[in-house]
Amino acid sequence: MEGKTIVITSGKGGVGKTTATASIGAALALQGKRVAVVDMDIGLRNLDVVMGLENRIVFNIVDAVKGKCKLKQAAIKDRRIENLFLIPASQSDNKNALTPEDMIEFSKELRREFDFVLIDCPAGIEQGFENSVAAADEAIVICTPEVSSVRDADRVIGLLYSRSITPKLVVNRIIPQMVENGDMLSHTDMVDVLSIELIGLVEMDDHVVISTNTGIPLIMQKDSKAGGAFRRIAMRINGRVDLPIQIPQTQGGFFKKIRHKLGLSR
Amino acid sequence: MNSSNQEKIPVRLKGKGNTLCVTLNPLESSEYLKAELNRLFKELNDPSKNANVTIDTGSANGHEELVLELAKYLKDNFGVASVSKPVKPQNKRSSINEEQIRKRDMERSWHDYQTDVLVLTGRVRSGQKVTARNHLVIMGDVNPGAEVLAGGDIIILGGLLGTAIAGQPENENSIVLALDFRPTQIQIGSYVAAGLPSSPGKITEFAHVENGNIIVENYLEANPFGRIPWPQAR
């Protein structure tokens, strides 16, 4: 059976695309799938660092696409997780080194080898975005609860629709306390504006910084809330579509809810 | 028709739709009128060929013979298609007539009216631009960063959070209406309203031009078209 290619994109930079790609990829691999994560941020590669594989890169995606090496040579096997492979970006080329046609051909090859191919899309909507989207069957849009992020996500959703891809939404970096106080956009407001299917809500989590810096996958940290959220997102991608979405809440959220129901809080 | 100006110029020619209207003083001699017509139609050259011409003798009655004579002259010399007398509005029994007009207006005044209205359903997203020649109706939302532009009115059955540009290039009677009116910017004709104060809650509001300013009002309270006694095509 052919695998699925999913592009992870956002428009805006710094919303957590790379972290999400690494985490969802690791979670899918732990669920027994053969997974490749592809770094398309050519010239500014990061995914290798997040996954702790930076010192094992010999070949990169540009080499693989241009036929300088075989796919198997470019795909780096993860040390800790079976069935997880990284195809790193080139750090010395720029984004015009590849074309959408190249990527369509390359993705056919990837689909034969892997069950899931996750493409980490660069920020922006230029050549790098075009290349990443050309190869994809599905898309996940990462958006943080900020007006600027919502606007960029909206633009990207429009561009994806125009390429006949219906994206799904992940809201990242939710701070429940701020949402409760009305200082942060709630995910319902965001879904109202973006009007696409929501597949996960990820809470702001300090573990992400630790994981990024040490290269230990987020989902292997047991008490990480973000890790748990990404694990559930991976399960939804992997066929468990009916898995309910957990809404991040402050400590004591349950009692607060009861108080709210009784009309004792504002 | 008996104005002093009229008497000084015995023959006048005016294009009206696809007919040529000739106004002349029937008291002048037919030779003189022919000479004048000759001069005017020669200036026109080709456009007079196969044209429909009406000859108006003003308020003076009679002169049918003169009209027939001039009609023959024009047909022979300039190849016009038809020559007729203008249809005069009937002033007699005006009350009955007005009633008929009203009745017609109420029942089917819009029947023969052709207008371009672009009706879209769905969401207009950031970076997208919708342009309509005349009126624009969007059944859906307009997101921040999106732009909707129309030659006439813009009606949004949903939330307007982006930019709406109505009445382009210079129709200042246009309105912008949205069920949830929270635009980034409104333009009507040549007027621009940026940084509109946000209204509380979801109210159906509309923007229109009044005394050189763009005014935003509650649509149901202002009911701007409620005073028009019967439906009209816009």
A19 is in an annotated binding site: yes
For residue B146, give how far its alpha carbon lies from the nearest alpha carbon of chain A (Å). 9
A16 is in an annotated binding site: yes
Question: Looking at A12-16, A78-82, B13-17, which range is the least confident one?
Answer: B13-17
Q: Comparing C-alpha atoms, which of A227, A188, A190 is closest to residue A207?
A: A227
DSSP letter assigned to residue A14: S
CB B124 within 8 A of CB B162: yes
What is the per-residue pLDDT for A260? Answer: 64
Distance, in Å, from the CA atom of A217 to the CA atom of B187, rounded to the nearest integer, reads: 51
Tell me if chain B has a CB within 8 Å of the CB of A70: no
User: Residues A45-59: pLDDT tens digits?
Assistant: 999 999 989 889 999
Structure tokens, B204: 């159906």
Task: Decide if pLDDT at B95 tops 70.
Answer: no
What is the per-residue pLDDT for B88? Answer: 57
What confidence tier does B61 reach under pLDDT thresholds 50, 70, 90?
low
User: Residues A106-118: pLDDT tens digits?
Assistant: 999 999 999 999 9
CB A132 within 8 A of CB A7: yes
Task: Decide if pLDDT at A200 tops 90.
Answer: yes
Radius of gyration (C-alpha) of chain B in whole angstroms? 26
Task: Decide if pLDDT at A84 tops 50.
Answer: yes
Angle at A191 between CA B127 and CA A161, to 5 degrees: 45
Structure tokens, A202: 């990820």
β-bridge partners, B136: B118, B154
User: Residues B115-135: pLDDT tens digits?
Assistant: 789 999 999 999 899 999 999
Q: From chain B, pick out residues whose CB is under 8 angstroms from the CB of A152.
A: 126
Distance, in Å, from the CA atom of B7 to the CA atom of B60, rounded to the nearest integer, reads: 13
What is the per-residue pLDDT for B17? Answer: 67
A17 is in an annotated binding site: yes
Best of B121, B123, B125 to disrupt the A interface (most A CBs within 10 Å) is B125
What is the per-residue pLDDT for B4? Answer: 44
What mean pLDDT is predicted for residues B63-80? Answer: 80
Give the strand pairing for B163-166 and A116-120: unpaired
What mean pLDDT is predicted for residues A26-49? Answer: 93
User: Residues A117-165: pLDDT tens digits?
Assistant: 999 999 999 999 999 999 899 999 999 999 999 999 999 999 999 999 9
A33 is in an annotated binding site: no
What is the per-residue pLDDT for B226? Answer: 85
What mean pLDDT is predicted for residues A203-208? Answer: 92
Best of A156, A193, A194, A196 to disrupt the B interface (most B CBs within 10 Å) is A193
Contact B145 A147 (CB under 8 A): no
Q: From chain B, pick out residues whose CB is under 8 angstroms from the CB of A155.
A: 125-127, 145
Q: From chain A, pick out residues whose CB is under 8 angstroms from the CB of B161.
A: 193
Q: Phi then psi for A150, rounded to 5 degrees?
A: -65, -40
CB B193 within 8 A of CB B184: no
Structure tokens, B50: 């196969």
User: Residues B189-216: pLDDT tens digits?
Assistant: 999 988 777 777 788 999 999 998 999 9
Size of interface A-B (CB pairs under 8 A): 30
Q: What is the mean pLDDT of chain B?
A: 81
The chain B residues in contact with chain A (CB within 8 A) are 123, 125-128, 141, 143-145, 161
Helix/strand/coil (H, E, C) string of chain B? CCCHHHHHCCEEEEEECCEEEEEECCCCCHHHHHHHHHHHHHHHCHHHCCCEEEEECCCCCCCHHHHHHHHHHHHHHHCCCEEECCCCCCCCCHHHHHHHHHHHHHHHCCCCCCCCEEEEECCECCCCEEEECCEEEEECCECCCCEEEECCCEEEEEEECCEEEECCCCCCCCCEEEEEECCCEEEECCEEEECCCCCCCCCCEEEEEECCEEEEEEHHHHCCCCCCCCCCCC
Structure tokens, A7: 């592009």
